[in-house]
Chains A and B, each alone.
Chain A
Amino acid sequence: MKPFTYERANSVEAAAKAAASVQGARFIAGGTNLLDLMKLQIETPTHLIDVNRLGLDRIEKTEEGGLRIGALVRNTDLAADTTVRRDYGVLSRALVAGASGQLRNKATTAGNLLQRTRCPYFYDIRMPCNKRKPGSGCGALKGMSRSLAILGVSDACIAQHPSDMAVAMRLLDAQVETMGADGTKRAIPIADFHLLPGETPHKETVLNAGEIITSVTLPKPVAGTHVYRKVRDRASYAFALVSVAAIFGKDGTARFAFGGIGAKPWRTAEADAAASEGAKAVAQAALAGARTTEHNDFKRPLVERTLASLYRQQEARA
Chain B
Amino acid sequence: MKFDTPAGPNPIDKGRVIGIAHDRIDGPAKVTGTAAYAYERHDAAPNAAYGWIVGSAIAKGRIAAMDLTAAEASPGVLGIVTHANAGKLSKGNMNTAHLLGGPQIEHYEQALALVVADTFENARAAAALVRIDYAPEDGKFDLAAERLNGVIPPQGFGGPADTKAGDFDGAFAKAAVKVEQTYTTPDQSHAMMEPHASIAAWNGDKLTLWTSNQMIAWSVGDMAKTLGIPKENIRFVSPYIGGGFGSKLFLRADALLAALGARQVGRPVKVAIARPQIPNNTTHRPATIQRIRIGADKDGVIDAIAHEVWSGDLPGGGAETAAQQTRLLYRGENRMTAHRLVTLNLPEGNAMRAPGEAVGLLALEVAMDELAEACGVDPVELRIRNDVQFDPEAGPQRPFSSRKLVECLRAGADRFGWQRRNPKPGQVRDGRWLVGMGMASAFRNNLTEKSGARIGVDGSGKVIVETDMTDIGTGSYTIIAQTAAEMLGVDLDQVTVRLGDSRFPVSAGSGGQWGANSSTAGVYAAAMALRAKLAEKAGYAAEQAQFEDGLVRMGNQSQTLASLAGAQGLWAEDSMEYGDLDKKYAQATFGAHFCEVGVDMDTAEVRVRRMGGAFASGRILNPKSARSQVIGAMTMGVGAALMEALDVDTRFGFFVNHDMAEYQVPVHADIPHQDVLFVDELDDKSSPMKAKGVGELGICGAGAAVANAIYNATGIRLRDYPLTIDKLLKAQAA
Residue A207 at the chain B interface, CB threshold 8 Å: no
Q: Which residues of B contact A235 (CB under 8 A)?
A: 607, 667, 669-670
Q: Is the CB of B432 within 8 A of A2?
A: no
Q: How far is the CB of A152 from chain B (nearest CB, A)?
A: 21
Chain A interface mostly? loop
Q: Which residues in chain A, 130-158, are within 8 Å of chain B measured between CB atoms?
A: 139, 142-144, 146-147
Q: Which residues of B contact A143 (CB under 8 A)?
A: 649, 651-652, 656
Using known A-B contacts A144-B647, A309-B602, determine if residue A40 contacts B276 with beta carbons closer than 8 Å: yes
Q: Which residues of A contact B662 (CB under 8 A)?
A: 118, 120, 123, 147
Interface centre among A121, A231, A295, A308 (most CB of B within 10 A): A231
> Which residues on A are within 8 Å of B, measured CB to CB?
1-3, 39-41, 118, 120-121, 123-124, 126-127, 139, 142-144, 146-147, 231-239, 241, 295, 298, 301-302, 305-306, 308-309, 312-313
Interface centre among B124, B602, B605, B729 (most CB of A within 10 A): B602
- The distance in angstroms between the C-alpha atoms of A309 and B658, with both chains bound, is 33
Q: Which residues of B contact A241 (CB under 8 A)?
A: 725
Interface centre among A124, A239, A301 (most CB of B within 10 A): A124
Using known A-B contacts A120-B657, A126-B57, A143-B649, determine if residue A309 contacts B669 with beta carbons closer than 8 Å: no
Tell me which of B124, B602, B664, B726 contacts A234 (CB under 8 A). B664
Residue B155 at the chain A interface, CB threshold 8 Å: no
- The distance in angstroms between the C-alpha atoms of A118 and B660, with both chains bound, is 12
Q: Which residues of B contact A118 (CB under 8 A)?
A: 661-662
Residue B733 at the chain A interface, CB threshold 8 Å: yes
Q: Which residues of B contact A298 (CB under 8 A)?
A: 725-726, 729-730
Tell me which of A127, A237, A239 contacts B652 (CB under 8 A). A127
Q: Which residues of A contact B604 (CB under 8 A)?
A: 302, 305
Which size class do B's interface residues fall under? 35 or more
Q: Which residues of B contact A234 (CB under 8 A)?
A: 642-643, 664, 666-667, 669-670
Q: Is the CB of B733 within 8 A of A301?
A: yes
Using known A-B contacts A118-B661, A124-B658, A231-B603, determine if residue A146 contacts B276 with beta carbons closer than 8 Å: no
Q: How far is the CB of B231 from chain A (nearest CB, A)?
A: 37
- The distance in angstroms between the C-alpha atoms of A39 and B121, with both chains bound, is 9
Q: How far is the CB of A274 from chain B (nearest CB, A)?
A: 18
Using known A-B contacts A143-B649, A233-B643, determine if residue A305 contacts B668 with beta carbons closer than 8 Å: no
Q: Is the CB of A121 within 8 A of B656?
A: yes
Q: Is the CB of B128 within 8 A of A41?
A: yes
Q: Is the CB of B661 within 8 A of A236?
A: no
Residue B28 at the chain A interface, CB threshold 8 Å: no
Q: Is the CB of A302 within 8 A of B670?
A: no
Tell me which of A3, A239, A312 contacts B432 (CB under 8 A). A312
Interface centre among A146, A147, A235 (most CB of B within 10 A): A235
> Which residues on B are within 8 Å of A, measured CB to CB?
57, 75, 121, 124-125, 128, 276, 432, 600-605, 607, 642-643, 647, 649, 651-652, 656-659, 661-662, 664, 666-670, 724-726, 729-730, 733
Name the CB-closest residue of B to A242: B603
Q: Which residues of A contact B121 (CB under 8 A)?
A: 1, 3
Q: Is the CB of A144 within 8 A of B642?
A: no
- The distance in angstroms between the C-alpha atoms of A108 and B652, with both chains bound, is 37
Name the CB-closest residue of A to B55: A126
Name the CB-closest residue of A to B121: A1
Name the CB-closest residue of B to A229: B603
Q: Which residues of B contact A3 (CB under 8 A)?
A: 75, 121, 125
Q: Which residues of B contact A308 (CB under 8 A)?
A: 602
Name the CB-closest residue of B to A313: B432
Q: Is the CB of A236 within 8 A of B730?
A: no
Q: Which residues of B contact A301 (CB under 8 A)?
A: 729, 733
Q: Which residues of A contact B600 (CB under 8 A)?
A: 309
Q: How far is the CB of B475 from chain A (nearest CB, A)?
A: 27
Q: Which residues of B contact A306 (CB under 8 A)?
A: 602-603
Q: Which residues of A contact B668 (CB under 8 A)?
A: 236
Q: Which residues of A contact B128 (CB under 8 A)?
A: 2, 41
- The distance in angstroms between the C-alpha atoms of A143 and B649, with both chains bound, is 6
- The distance in angstroms between the C-alpha atoms of A268 and B730, with both chains bound, is 27
- The distance in angstroms between the C-alpha atoms of A124 and B664, with both chains bound, is 17
- The distance in angstroms between the C-alpha atoms of A119 and B163, with both chains bound, is 45
Given contacts A142-B651, A298-B730, A308-B602, 11 further A-B contacts (CB under 8 A): A120-B656, A123-B659, A124-B658, A144-B656, A234-B667, A237-B669, A298-B726, A301-B729, A301-B733, A306-B603, A312-B432
Q: Which residues of B contact A39 (CB under 8 A)?
A: 124
Q: How far is the CB of B668 from chain A (nearest CB, A)?
A: 7
- The distance in angstroms between the C-alpha atoms of A146 and B663, with both chains bound, is 13
Q: Which residues of A contact B667 (CB under 8 A)?
A: 234-237
- The distance in angstroms between the C-alpha atoms of A275 and B602, with both chains bound, is 18
Name the CB-closest residue of B to A40: B276
18 example contacts (A-B, Cβ-Cβ < 8 A) are as follows: A2-B125, A120-B647, A120-B658, A120-B662, A121-B656, A123-B276, A123-B659, A143-B656, A144-B657, A231-B603, A233-B643, A234-B664, A239-B661, A301-B729, A302-B603, A302-B604, A305-B603, A309-B601
